[in-house]
Amino acid sequence: MNNEIKTYALMAAIIALFVVIGGLIGGKGGMLLALLFGGALNFYAYWNSADMVLKMYQAQEVSPHNAADLYQMVAELASRANLPMPKVYVINEDQANAFATGRNPEHAAVAFTTGIMRALSYAELRGVAAHELSHVKHRDILLSTISATVAGAISAVANMAMWFGVRDENGNRNWMAGLLIGIFAPLAAAVIQMAISRSREYLADQGAAELTNDPLALASGLRKIENIARGVQFQTAEEHPATAQMMIINPLSGSGRDNLFSTHPATANRIMRLEDMARRLGQLN
């Protein structure tokens, strides 16, 4: 299933989930309101979620005049990948991380923290930039951005169910059912996050290695980013955990090895695959 089909399937699943929860909370009237809300949220997310995420992280757009090296690096890689030039943003944040967003390659943006720009060498940062441009080329940026936007909304609806309960068939409030929705709806949001398959990170790593012909640079960069992420908190990501899956490395405290609800493959596994690529290219014994 390509990412365009996945995106529309995800948007349909979002509306269905909202309708079910809305019906449990408010009966037929609640279902109608939830249907309208889910449709409006999808429409808004499609057109505005990228800008919303960038504003959330207080990302500042840069140009060749105030970030020449970074801008030219992205421009060179975009040209090699036959992509339109994306907008380039910098986030004033100590943790080393980066992400791509936008609804398509013509409206894409790549963002880098000041921490990653300080911590990585030019070659390593180039590998990270190529990874993010691979996400753009694979057209999975809309899917990841929409899922990040709506996962938080689903959790908010779940909280409403916990506070207001749900209606039974006689119109009475069922507080226990509300509590269960409050517990399990966020799990449903996590499943939506899993619609962004962890395999996309492997594919973006592979695409970056092919674009730069330097898989070891990205492997070295991932190793550094992982070590920094374990010791430096990314407060905005902690406050908006649904956006964590957009980053090149999970920015949340307590992240680590693969698990059922992990949004990223284990970094060690990603590095191993990149090193295998380097061996095939004769760059590593």
Tell me the pLDDT of the chain averaged across its residues. 83
Q: Is 132 an annotated catalytic residue?
A: yes
Question: What domains, with CATH codes, occur in the chain?
Answer: 3-53+142-194 (no CATH), 64-141+197-280 (3.30.2010.10)
Q: Tens digits of per-residue pLDDT, 120-171?
A: 999 999 999 999 999 999 887 877 777 666 666 676 666 666 665 555 555 5
Are 88 and 62 spatial neighbours (Cβ–Cβ below 8 Å)?
A: yes
pLDDT tier at 67, thresholds 50, 70, 90: very high
Angle at 72 between CA 109 and CA 81, to 5 degrees: 65
Catalytic entry in 93, 132, 201, 226: 132
pLDDT band at 37 (very low <50, low <70, confident <90, very high): confident
| pLDDT recorded at residue 160 | 64
pLDDT tens digits along 212-230: 999 999 999 999 999 998 8
Report pTM: 0.80
Whether the Cβ atoms of residue 125 and residue 248 lie closer than 8 Å to each other: no
Contact 50, 143 (CB under 8 A): no
